[in-house]
């Protein structure tokens, strides 16, 4: 028996793979297409670990996924693979529909065929955990209560609309075929291995490079931040104890305006690696044009997950952001390779045989 992780070379996926294998002997099959967001450097420490089976492939390849499910006797699928960046979805939405909607549909078809052929006891124990987002709920007014699982869907960007569509497909496969699915809606993650196109890692690497720190609009948009390891522990909890057909919100009650986040990152850098000229990093902040259709506020009500399954985050925002900034300071080579694109050359030279794992 084994679990199948899709998108396990991305930010959250690779943190999940490392976290899972730090506490389980069970084999983990990692199916990733290695788009620009997939970085096998993240999983370098697992290079000779037989519990990690990396497969270079596409969730849209139903035949390949079907073979993997059968060959490894998969007991659970954790579906992370997606196009995940809102700004990219605005400039090029097609890839989001292809991967997040069509890709999830293809994956579900492969999983359905495999699951329907299992013995009744294995069918009952099987799980498909769909990793969704709080963005499907849309934007909140300043004083509105946080999103519960009952909040209506109102996705505003091509990214969130594509994730909402995939959520509906997952729900329908439970309702129609009885596939034992679980869906999680997590707020903004941050932590190590975060690709520097997203707010927090972009601000850290730009600050250190002496570049402008681009804050969209007035910087008063609110996001609800969760350290990535806490998301991983929530996913393990939902996988182990969640009720099939249920959805679970995941968040750490850490609402903050973007400008405050950027200022906190700057203050930590001032403390940990001050600029040579003595000026504060915050002097690099630059207000730029707003994101089209920018959601003003997200906030997650995570009481169901804590009341029903006993999950709680381990990090406060203060402890998590300090660890995150320190991680980037400690890993200049990871940053340099991501920025130069060299991580992709490294993948080719070190994992030339990886595709043959399929
Ligand atoms: P990411 O962009 O860092 O990683 C996505 C991974 O999926 C990459 O490794 C990429 O190569 C892979 N991938 C893309 N298309 C694929 C395909 N067709 N087949 C196989 N692999 C493919 O994303 P992330 O930030 O780690 O997010 C992971 C999941 O969590 C996504 O589903 C996202 O919607 C969800 N999520 C993210 C956040 C967040 O704050 N980052 C919050 C809540 C939910
Ligand atoms: O809420 C969960 C979502 O969080 C996930 O589903 C997405 O996959 C993930 O990318 C993230 O989406 P956001 O759009 O909230 O994240 P991002 O880091 O792109 O932006 C965070 C906020 O910071 C947002 O309000 C836009 C703003 N921003 C972002 C960038 C990249 C800036 O002001 N300047 C920037 O340069």
Protein residue with its CA nearest to atom 34 in ligand 2? 215
* Atom from ligand 2 closest to the CA of residue 186: 2
What confidence score (pLDDT) does residue 348 get? 66
Atom 4, ligand 2: residue with shortest CA distance: 188
Distance 289 CA to ligand 1 centre (A): 26
Distance, in Å, from the CA atom of 3 to the CA atom of 21, rounded to the nearest integer, reads 11
Report helix, strand or coil for 305.
helix
66 and 110 Cβ atoms separated by less than 8 Å: yes
Tell me the ligand closest to 189's alpha carbon: 1
Evaluate if residue 82 carries a pLDDT over 90.
yes
Position 354 confidence tier, pLDDT thresholds 50, 70, 90: very low
Looking at residue 322, what is its pLDDT? 98
Atom of ligand 2 nearest to the CA of 82: 8
| Nearest Cα residue to 239 out of 18, 122, 78, 74 | 78
- For residue 263, report the distance from its CA to the centre of ligand 2, in Å: 16
Q: Is pLDDT at 266 greater than 90 in this prediction?
A: yes
96, 47 in Cβ contact below 8 A? no
In this predicted model, what pLDDT tens digit does every residue of 226-244 receive, in sequence order? Answer: 999 999 999 999 999 999 9
Per residue in 302-312, pLDDT tens?
999 999 999 99
- Around ligand 2, the residues with Cβ closer than 6 Å are 84-86, 133-135, 187-188, 198-199, 202, 214-216, 221, 223, 258, 291, 298
Considering every ligand atom, which ligand is closest to the CA of 186?
A: 1
Q: Could you give the C-alpha distances from 42 to 11, 321, 344, 356, in angstroms and in order? A: 8, 19, 12, 20
Q: Is the pLDDT of residue 335 over 70?
A: yes
| Euclidean distance between the first and the last CA atom of the chain, given in angstroms as a whole number | 17
Nearest atom within ligand 1 for CA of residue 58: 19
Spatial distance between the Cα atoms of 53 and 305, rounded to a whole number of angstroms = 30
Between the alpha carbon of residue 169 and those of residues 36, 101, 173, 181, 247, the distances in Å are 26, 8, 6, 11, 14
Residue nearest to atom 12 of ligand 1 (CA): 7
Q: Between vectors from CA 231 to CA 133 and to CA 339, what angle results, nearest 5°?
A: 80
Sheet containing 52-56: give its strands across.
52-56, 27-32, 2-6, 74-79, 127-133, 181-186, 247-250
Least confident of 44-48, 155-159, 172-176, 277-281: 44-48
* Angle at 137 (CA atoms; ends 134, 138), nearest 5 degrees: 105
Which ligand places an atom closest to the C-alpha of 235?
A: 1
Ligand nearest to the CA of 262: 2
For the annotated catalytic residues, the residue numbers are 134-135, 159
How far, in Å, CA of 189 to CA of 87, rounded?
16
Q: What is the DSSP letter of 300?
A: B
The pLDDT, as a whole number, for residue 344 is 77
Pocket test for ligand 2, best of 90, 216, 218 (most atoms within 8 A of CB): 216
3-state secondary structure of 313: coil
Percent of the chain with pLDDT over 70: 96
Of ligand 2's atoms, which has the minimum distance to the CA of residue 197? 31
Please state the rounded mean pLDDT for residues 252-265. 97
Pocket test for ligand 1, best of 5, 6, 8, 12 (most atoms within 8 A of CB): 12
| Structural domain boundaries in the chain | 2-190+226-253+294-315+343-357
Full DSSP string of 265-289: HHHHHHHHS--TT---GGGGEEEEP
CA distance 215 to 223: 14
Distance from C-alpha of 348 to C-alpha of 40, rounded to nearest angstrom: 10
Indicate which residue's Cα is closest to atom 6 of ligand 2: 133
pLDDT at 350 over 60: no
- Of 204, 214, 228, 220, the residue nearest 335 (C-alpha): 204
How many A from CA of 339 to the centre of ligand 2?
Answer: 19
Say how many Å lie between the CA of residue 304 and the centre of ligand 2.
25
* CA angle centred on 60, ends 161 and 238, rounded to 5°: 65
Q: Show the ligand 1 pocket: residues with CB < 6 angstroms.
A: 6-7, 9-13, 31-35, 37-38, 58-60, 80-82, 84, 99, 103, 131, 133, 163, 186, 188-189, 195
Return the pLDDT at 342.
81
Would you identify the CATH topology of the domain 2-190+226-253+294-315+343-357?
A: Rossmann fold (3.40.50)
The chain-wide mean pLDDT, for the chain, equals 96
pLDDT: is 152 or 353 the higher one? Answer: 152
pLDDT score recorded for residue 353: 47
Question: From the CA of 288, how far away is ligand 1's center (Å)?
Answer: 26
CA 155: distance to chain centroid? 18
């Amino acid at each position: 028996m084994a679990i199948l992780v899709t998108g396990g070379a991305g930010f959250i996926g690779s943190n999940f793979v490392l976290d899972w294998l730090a506490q389980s002997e069970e084999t983990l099959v990692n199916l990733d297409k290695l788009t620009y967001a997939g970085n096998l450097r993240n999983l370098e420490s697992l290079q000779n670990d037989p519990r990690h089976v990396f497969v270079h492939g596409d969730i849209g390849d139903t035949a390949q996924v079907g073979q993997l499910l059968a060959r490894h006797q998969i007991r659970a699928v954790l579906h992370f693979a997606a196009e995940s960046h809102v700004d990219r979805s605005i400039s090029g939405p097609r890839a989001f529909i292809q991967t997040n909607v069509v890709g999830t549909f293809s994956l579900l078809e492969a999983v359905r065929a495999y699951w329907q052929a299992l013995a009744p006891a294995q069918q009952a124990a099987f799980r498909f955990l769909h990793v969704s987002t709080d963005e499907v709920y849309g934007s909140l007014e300043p004083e509105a209560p946080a999103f519960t699982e009952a909040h209506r869907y109102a996705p505003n960007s091509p990214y969130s609309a594509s994730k909402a569509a995939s959520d509906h497909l997952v729900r329908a496969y439970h309702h129609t075929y009885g596939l034992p699915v679980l869906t999680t809606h997590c707020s903004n993650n941050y932590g190590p291995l975060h690709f520097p196109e997203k707010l927090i890692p972009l601000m850290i690497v730009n600050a250190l490079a002496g570049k402008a720190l681009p804050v969209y609009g007035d910087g008063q948009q609110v996001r609800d931040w969760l350290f990535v390891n806490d998301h991983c522990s929530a996913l393990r909890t939902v996988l182990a104890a969640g009720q099939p057909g249920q959805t679970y919100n995941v968040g750490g009650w850490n609402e903050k305006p973007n400008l405050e986040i950027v200022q906190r990152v700057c203050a930590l850098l001032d403390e940990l690696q001050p600029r040579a000229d003595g000026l504060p990093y915050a002097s690099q902040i630059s207000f730029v044009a707003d994101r089209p259709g920018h959601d003003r506020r997200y906030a997650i009500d995570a009481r169901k997950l804590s009341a029903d399954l006993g999950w709680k985050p381990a990090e406060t925002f203060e402890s998590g952001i300090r660890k995150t900034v320190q991680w980037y300071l400690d890993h200049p080579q990871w940053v340099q390779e991501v920025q130069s694109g060299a991580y992709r050359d490294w993948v080719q030279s070190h994992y030339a045989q990886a595709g043959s794992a399929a």
